[in-house]
Amino acid sequence: MRKVTSMVLAIGLGSALVLAGCNSTENKVSDGVNKMLDTTGQLSKAIKSGDQAKVKELGPKLEDHWATFEDDVKKEDKELYQKVEKYLDPTIAGSEAAAIDKEVLGKLNDQLTDALKELENKTK
């Protein structure tokens, strides 16, 4: 009887650790997506107002935020990972350009925002 009790406890503890790990990944992705959405929102305002200094400051932050959870997204959903990457890299590059093309960068940022919102909905 003692062995059965020990085994049940071990299985229960193992399950709890696995579930805690899953929740941790979801929280990490959710927090990262929220930070990126906040940044794309700020970036959108800076693009519309023509504030090049702010655009140049915000663009690289997107990569910094993405780096904290991109591997988790890649493991869980390669299609969404690729969708975010498709718009992330050109948005960052456009934000770092000497002359900012408001129309192109605004469109890229909007597409990135849409991809992030899709990812956000998937993590809920």
- Token digits for 120? 């956000």
Q: Is the pLDDT of residue 40 over 60?
A: yes
User: Mean per-residue pLDDT for 84-91?
Assistant: 97
Task: Indicate the number of domains in the chain.
Answer: 1
Does a structural domain hold residue 88?
yes
Average pLDDT, the chain: 87
Does a structural domain hold residue 81?
yes
Query: Domain of 71?
Result: 27-123
- List Cα–Cα distances, 25 to 8, 12, 21, 36, 66, in angstroms: 26, 20, 6, 16, 14
pLDDT for position 16: 43
CATH number of the domain that residue 75 is part of: 1.20.120
User: Mean per-residue pLDDT for 99-118?
Assistant: 96
Rounded to a whole number, what is the distance in angstroms from the first to the last CA of the chain? Answer: 42
Half-sphere exposure of residue 22: CA atoms within 13 angstroms, side-chain side: 8
* The model's pTM: 0.79
Task: Decide which of 1 and 118 is more confident.
Answer: 118
- Token digits for 43? 């970036």
Q: Is the pLDDT of residue 97 over 60?
A: yes
